[in-house]
Structure 1
Amino acid sequence: MRDVLDFSYESRPVRVVFRPGAATTATPGEAAALGLRRLLVVCGSRGAATARAVADSLGPACVGLHDGARMHVPADVAARAVEAARAAGADGCVAVGGGSSIGLGKAIALRTGLPLIAVPSTYSGSEMTPVWGLTEHGAKRTGRDPVVLPRSVVYDPELTVSLPAPLSVTSGINAVAHAVEALYAPDTSPLVALMAEEGVRAMAGALPAVANRPDSLEARGRALYGAWLCGSCLGATSMGLHHALCHVLGGTFSLPHAETHTVVLPYALAYNAPAAPEAAAAVARALSATEPAHALRSLAARLGAPRSLAELGLKETDLAEAAAETAGRAYANPRAVTEEGALAVLRAAYEGGEPEFPGL
């Protein structure tokens, strides 16, 4: 982390409402406070029932429900959603669901400038960032634009109770990855470091409780709190090797988003730890562990998450292509990302063994 007297930090205006039942009781008020009267609700097919309840709560202010969200936001899917918003004469958008739904809402905001309200039902943390992503021709590209940052975020722990425990675990560790990378980002700051360490601590403490008691609103709320902090860290800092790898694996090889983050994180951290000892120490404190990369792998395995890229369907013959594409991307990282280094991380994650890189 930089010296406390040498950093910059930019805080963007996002209003947060956090309480059980808020999805249907608070969203209409948030829309009214923003002066929005013609809202398009967007979601994926899995969360359509929840989105319909939110749409119904908006009453005549809802001008349509578009359930076309898909993982990694394919460009053609985004184009159809933009057309739906324009055809409905929408003056705003409400994204209900996980990262795919919120990503689609961001794509609409990016193309139209419409203000976005996010009602997350997973722990991705995307709702707290100005980061957008689109996948086209087998490649995922990302960018930052203040226009895609939700103007209001409605956190409702009740929405996550139906999220299956395995997906809850991988979604939560996906959020942890945002905080871990923020700790060693070149534009980190003391405030980000505080949020990141607390976010990792909160999520790592909540996930075992969520897995054991999926209906516990206390555990679900604690996980959402962790997601909020972790997502805020990603929104304030640059992405590094971990996100570069996951964007390649998701965009080019169509691996599932949260599961890929869960598998890759321990290996990306182990690769970077020698060049970012303070960040590694912060993660270790948050996990009450001495070896943070091993502790992250152990946490995921203990909770039944996938342990290797092979389990997710990646082929061994894909590793070299993924390494070359990763090394060719311009992501800030504390340790140089060579093709050899990227391949070593990918091979270790493919095999799923202990996250160690002797000789690198």
Structure 2
Amino acid sequence: MQLLLLLQAGGGATASELARELEVSVRTVYRDVEALSAAGVPVYSEPGRGGGVRLIDGYRTRLTGLTSDEADAVLLAGLPGAAADLGLGTVLATAQLKMLAALPPELRGRATRIAERVHIDMPGWFQRPDEAPALATVADALWHDRRLAITYRRRDRTVHRTLDPLGLVMKAGTWYLIARDDADIRSYRASRIATAVPTGESFTRPAAFDLAEHWRTAAEEFARSMLRVSAQCRISTDHLSLLRLMNDPAAVREALASTGTPDADGWADITVPAESYEVLAHALLPLGEHIEVLSPPELRATMTATAAAVLARYRGPTAP
């Protein structure tokens, strides 16, 4: 069934490609192709360059091979809120109805219980989703490879851009548009797009563009770019795990990577990055006596003054 659905979705592939995708041998692929053919599925193999395993054009199978767990997973894969944001709420509902109709009766009842038992709420606590009034227009241009003229609100001004929309990413309930601006591919927060107007022009997507890989790389670069300052410190290596109290994964990774060789007392030099010295002071204070700031002097002075103020507070008269 997995082989059949792969062929149906992809239009065909070589036996080697199918074997790699299914994590089986090429011999197993050919054996399964023979089994499908014997079962009446119009599948065939073409030898030579440009050949492969294919289905006769127009063939479609009903989803009678789904297990109950697979049916549950398919219904969970769609996020109704995200689909609605993109103007696809009705389309998603219709697609799910069609999928339910294709399921065998013994699975249909179980699958319909998913919506009654699982609800996905993407934004974090105490956060309201960004309003993005131009999102549906952006999504429509994305589906049809249409160029967009947008006005975009930056912190200090509004700018005008003509973009080729390449993808949309939802991160913690916030939508981001990934688009090409001339030769550069950039990220734009959808809620800051004040207006979006199709120009009437089409564009050709870059053939090698991979949205998921681009986002992963861009997110890592953004996280590193926020680490504008750093402090030279000494830390007790028995308490390195306390660095995770910083709640900044990029900073923690860089700090741990910089850890030097421990001395006889179990202390090591370390470089701890952060967005600012103010942020860094608040991040290091919870580590208490297990870390010492060596430089810069102003951060060391801040740590000293804060520790003295805490001590004075607790040495003062007890409140009635």
| TM-score normalised over the length of structure 2 | 0.25
Larger relative contact order, structure 1 or 2 (CA cutoff 8 Å, min sep 6): 1
Q: Specify the structure having the higher radius of gyration (Cα).
A: 2
- Name whichever structure is richer in strand by fraction: 2
- Per the normalisation by structure 1, the TM-score is 0.23
Q: Please state which structure has a larger fraction of its residues in helix.
A: 1
